[in-house]
């Protein structure tokens, strides 16, 4: 019972044992079948060769007998004592008896002769050793013999020696003897009695018995048949023998199909499978030997059972050996299972041992991969930390510390030599940040980092680091002997290639700023700040531009220029008149003139225009339903634009809405303005824990129901839900920076109740704030 229970609980051992047993059984059966097949085939080949030799011997015996009969006949035919029998034209008895007695002596001393007959064509008389002359019984015999002779001679020119003519006293009856005709070849009508003929008659029983004796000596249970050229079997029928007609039909059909005069075949005669071997004689006869298949292969059939008996014994032995071998093969598996969990563990009952081991291996591999990933993430975090520190506070490192930091973190920069910084900023980052999930943003920044490092590494050693807010700082280390005058120019070309690749693959626009190159690692932070200052000139050069010190220096000579006073006066006048077209044209011209100024003066000039627009609009504000364009937030909105063209367009749109409102404010326009105002109020005051639908409605001087209905009609969510979404968006950003506790973040984004914060956060992101921070840190 223990043995069966052990095998029942070990599925892999069962499969191993069954596989070995199945292979042994199939091999034994297949080898036995192949061995028996080849034994049978070899037996057939051997039997055919033996039968062919017997039939060849039989043919030789028949040919030899024919030669003996011919020689004996011609000796009689040429014997002068026989002349009276062949040529005497009278029937004198005293001349006939002496030669007849001599012939009788010849027949009696020869065991294969049945009789000898002579036909005298001169006196038209038959003489036979069977009858005395003038015996009345010879007359019918004469007629039959004469008929036979006539039939043969009617066929045309007959050879002097015609042999093995079957003679039947009755048509369809048994063959009485085989006749050999010997006569002189004379011309004339063969049907006339002008040829004296000698007939040597061979005994049929002696002939067939002799054939059978020869056959029995070589083949047990075989039967020999003689078939004439017409397919007629000449053997007398015997009880228990196969039907002659069926044998003749099978053999004739085979010879007709193959055309072989000598051959071997297996066919069914009656209900018994039979082996045929045949040979063709010169006179057209065929001698066939028939043997029962079971008799011939009785020994081979016995051998088959011997094979099967041996195979069965080997099978039993193989079962025992299979158990032993399978146990030995299974032992390492058993030891492994025991080490990793034991054979009676729960998971093992549901699967075989190999799958159980594989499952454990996969689990361990996953855990190791997770550990490795965590290690790599920690290593990358440390590397990025040091890179950020180098970029933002390089002076805190001594020269030796800087060298050690490079070696310990595997940074691809040189401790010595000129350094430079390229700053890549994502254009329209705020919109990009709102439409892209955090994980996607991290993945995209990772891709931009790798692409930037790969492209720059074609010329310089470098390291790229994400410095936040969609910006990537590439720290570039020049080699010894590089021309400082050309470093910035060559770096700008590489940065342009980066922009093209990112644009082509990610449909993302980048603005780049390339600092000059300077010696000393302590200058890196200064170069980074310079690159940031240069990046501000995206306002002038536009999105996707590459800002270099040379481009900024080209504008230095024109920095004192400013917008014409007359142009500004006409611009204010278009505001008073509410002329939208004139306002757009004049605004575009004003902002074009700002492009000649330095960045500080551009900002001053833009804010000056915004102030003029605000002051002029206050006197013209015609409020309807308590809604007005939020000019108070115009400064912030304009400064959020990334280029002067964007600023110009935003101011133009703002004034156009204001002008349209004063002309004919539709209900739809009011709702858009109202919702935009509500969203701006929420964005600017989301940190206020008391910020709610009621506070927004009170600030607008409207009912909370009206405000809530109009907001949900356009945004498909309620004001309270939108406030929570804004707070959660800022909470996620603070969680990713990891500088505040969860409670501090909750308070900073305006949640007053911790349980509400956790509930809303988990509903939105599926995890708690703490779990979210851990998950992001492990990536």
How many Å apart are CA 350 and CA 341, to the nearest integer?
14
- The whole-number pLDDT of residue 397 equals 87
- The whole-number pLDDT of residue 624 equals 42
How many Å apart are CA 330 and CA 10, to the nearest integer?
10
Is 710:675 a contact under the CB 8 Å cutoff? yes
Task: Locate the DSSP E strands across 68-204.
Answer: 113-120, 125-128, 161-167, 177-183, 197-203
In the predicted model, residues of the chain with pLDDT beneath 50 are 1-3, 156-157, 186-193, 342-347, 622-628, 665-666
- The whole-number pLDDT of residue 568 equals 81
Torsion, Cα 363 364 368 374, to 10 degrees, reads 40
Q: Token digits for 211?
A: 């054939």
Is 584:652 a contact under the CB 8 Å cutoff? yes
- The whole-number pLDDT of residue 422 equals 93
Residues 484-523 as b/e (b if ≥16 CB within 10 A, e otherwise) read: eeebbebbbebbbebbebbeeeeebbbbbbbbbbbeebbb
- The whole-number pLDDT of residue 18 equals 76
- The whole-number pLDDT of residue 451 equals 93
How many Å apart are CA 225 and CA 235, to the nearest integer?
6
Helices (H), 78-109: 83-87, 93-108
């Amino acid at each position: 019972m223990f043995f069966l229970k052990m095998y029942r609980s070990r599925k892999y051992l069962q499969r191993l044992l069954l596989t070995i047993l199945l292979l042994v059984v199939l091999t034994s059966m297949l080898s036995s079948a192949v061995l028996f097949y080849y034994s049978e085939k070899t037996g057939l080949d051997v039997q055919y060769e033996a039968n062919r030799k017997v039939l060849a011997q039989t043919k030789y015996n028949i040919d030899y007998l024919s030669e003996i009969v011919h020689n004996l006949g011609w000796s009689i035919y040429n014997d002068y004592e026989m002349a009276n029998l062949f040529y005497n034209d009278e029937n004198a008895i005293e001349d006939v008896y002496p030669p007849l007695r001599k012939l009788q002596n010849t027949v009696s001393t020869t065991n294969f002769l049945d009789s000898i007959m002579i036909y005298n064509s001169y006196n038209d008389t038959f003489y036979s050793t069977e009858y005395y002359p003038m015996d009345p019984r010879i007359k019918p015999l004469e007629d039959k013999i004469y008929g036979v002779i006539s039939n043969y001679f009617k066929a045309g020119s007959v050879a002097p020696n015609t042999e093995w003519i079957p003679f039947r006293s009755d048509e369809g009856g048994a063959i009485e003897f085989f006749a050999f005709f010997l006569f002189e070849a004379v011309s004339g009508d063969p049907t006339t009695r002008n040829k004296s003929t000698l007939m040597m008659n061979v005994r049929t029983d002696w002939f067939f018995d002799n054939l059978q004796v020869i056959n029995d000596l070589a083949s047990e249970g075989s039967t020999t048949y003689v078939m004439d050229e017409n397919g007629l079997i000449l053997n007398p029928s015997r009880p228990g023998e196969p039907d002659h007609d069926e044998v003749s039909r099978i053999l004739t059909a085979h010879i007709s199909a193959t055309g072989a005069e000598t051959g071997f075949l297996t066919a069914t005669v009656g209900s018994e499978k039979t082996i045929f071997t045949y040979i063709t004689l010169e006179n057209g006869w065929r001698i066939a030997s028939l043997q029962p298949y079971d008799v011939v292969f009785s020994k081979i059939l016995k051998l088959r059972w011997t094979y099967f008996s041996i195979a069965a014994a080997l099978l039993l032995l193989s079962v025992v050996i299979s158990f032993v071998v399978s146990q030995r093969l299974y032992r390492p598996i058993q030891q492994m299972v025991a080490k990793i969990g034991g054979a009676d563990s729960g998971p093992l009952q549901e699967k075989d041992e190999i799958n159980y081991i594989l499952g454990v291996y996969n689990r361990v591999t996953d855990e190791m991969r997770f550990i490795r990933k965590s290690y790599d993430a920690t290593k990358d975090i440390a590397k990025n930390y040091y890179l950020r520190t180098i970029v933002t506070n390089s002076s805190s490192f001594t020269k030796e510390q800087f060298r050690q930091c490079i070696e310990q973190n595997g940074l691809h920069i040189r401790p010595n030599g000129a350094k430079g910084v390229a700053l890549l900023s994502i254009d329209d980052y705020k919109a990009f940040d709102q439409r892209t999930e955090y994980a996607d943003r991290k993945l995209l920044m990772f891709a931009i980092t790798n692409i930037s490092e790969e492209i720059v590494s074609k010329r310089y050693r470098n390291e790229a680091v994400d410095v936040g807010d969609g910006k990537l700082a590439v720290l570039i280390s020049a080699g010894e002997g590089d021309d400082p005058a050309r470093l910035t120019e060559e770096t700008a070309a590489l940065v342009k290639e980066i922009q093209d690749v990112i644009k082509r693959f990610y449909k993302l626009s980048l603005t780049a700023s390339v600092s000059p190159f300077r010696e000393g690692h302590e200058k890196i932070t200064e170069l980074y700040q310079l690159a940031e200052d240069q990046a501000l000139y995206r306002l002038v050069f536009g999105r996707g531009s590459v800002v270099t010190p040379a481009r900024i220096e080209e504008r230095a000579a024109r920095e004192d220029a400013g917008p014409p006073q007359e142009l500004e006066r006409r611009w204010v006048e278009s505001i008073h008149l509410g002329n939208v077209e004139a306002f757009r044209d004049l605004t575009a011209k004003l902002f074009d003139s700002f492009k000649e100024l330095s960045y500080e003066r551009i900002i001053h000039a833009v804010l000056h225009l915004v102030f003029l627009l605000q002051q002029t609009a206050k006197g013209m504000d015609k409020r309807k339903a308590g809604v007005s364009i939020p000019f108070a937030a115009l400064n912030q909105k304009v400064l959020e634009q990334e280029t002067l063209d964007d600023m110009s367009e935003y101011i133009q749109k703002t004034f156009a809405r204001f002008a349209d409102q004063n002309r004919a404010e539709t209900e739809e326009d009011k709702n858009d303005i109202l919702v935009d105002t509500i969203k701006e109020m929420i964005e600017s005051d989301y940190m206020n824990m008391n910020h709610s639908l009621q506070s927004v409605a009170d600030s607008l001087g409207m009912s909370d129901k009206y405000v809530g209905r109009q907001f949900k009609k356009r945004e498909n969510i309620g004001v309270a839900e939108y406030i929570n979404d804004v707070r959660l968006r800022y909470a996620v950003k603070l969680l990713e920076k990891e500088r505040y506790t969860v409670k501090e973040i909750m308070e900073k984004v305006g949640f007053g109740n911790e349980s509400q914060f956790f509930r809303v956060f988990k509903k939105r992101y599926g995890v708690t704030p703490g779990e979210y921070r851990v998950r992001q840190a492990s990536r």
